[in-house]
Amino acid sequence: MKKEILDAFNAQIKAEMESAYLYLAMAAYFDAESLDGFSAWMKAQAIEEMGHAMRFYQHIIDRDGTVEFEPLGIKKARWDSALEVFTDTLEHERYVTSRIDDLVQLTQEHRDRAGRHFLEWFVEEQIEEEATASKVLTDIKRVGDSGHGLLMIDRELGQRQIALPTAGEES
């Protein structure tokens, strides 16, 4: 694995863990607002992001690379509404998509077919991530200030199951 790609993949581990940290902060906001369904959805999202980090971790290990860890941080941990949270969620997923696109470009430039193949799953995953966040955001905008509407969305989001991946399992 070329150093530039190894460094970029290690940076992506950090970015995925920061995503998990961000989604956990969003879950805490929803817990404080007694919106258990929104909270459960965000907790599931956090677990999914940790799974993404582990995919990069394992790819680096499988290619005899060294995993490097850096301190985590997030830019925001307070919100005033579900609308603000999901506006930030969609913006964040678009940011992650841009990072994945940059990694794809990097692997192409370095003719790293294994890395490029590995990233295909993430390209597809980001399409799903953005579409889901966009749908929830649209639903929140549609109900506006209706508490009943927000509770309906909360109930719907609470149906998402949190699946803890096992070793070797696709997340």
18-50: per-residue pLDDT in tens? Answer: 999 999 999 999 999 999 999 999 999 999 999
pLDDT cut 70: percent of the chain above it: 95
- How far apart are the C-alpha atoms of 65 and 89, rounded to whole Å? 32
Torsion over CA: 33, 38, 39, 42 (sign): negative
Give tens-digit pLDDT for 42-82: 999 999 999 999 999 999 999 999 999 999 998 899 999 99
Average confidence (pLDDT) over 90-97? 98
Q: How far apart are CA 109 and CA 73, in angstroms?
A: 30
Cβ–Cβ under 8 Å, residues 67 and 60: yes
**Is a pLDDT exceeding 90 seen at residue 132?**
yes
Q: Would you state the pLDDT for residue 165?
A: 56
Given this model, what pLDDT does residue 145 score?
A: 82
- pLDDT tens, 134-148? 999 999 999 998 899
Asked if 117 contacts 103 with a C-beta cutoff of 8 angstroms, the reply is no
- The model's confidence at residue 171, banded by pLDDT at 50, 70 and 90, is very low
Q: What percent of the chain has pLDDT over 90?
A: 90
- Find where tokens 């989001």 sit: 157
CATH architecture of 3-157: Up-down Bundle (1.20)
pLDDT at 164 > cutoff 60: no
For every residue of 120-161, DSSP letters joined together read HHHHHHHHHHHHHHHHHHHHHHHHTT-HHHHHHHHHHHTT--
pTM: 0.90
What are the domain boundaries of the chain? 3-157
Q: Are 102 and 116 in contact (CB under 8 A)?
A: no
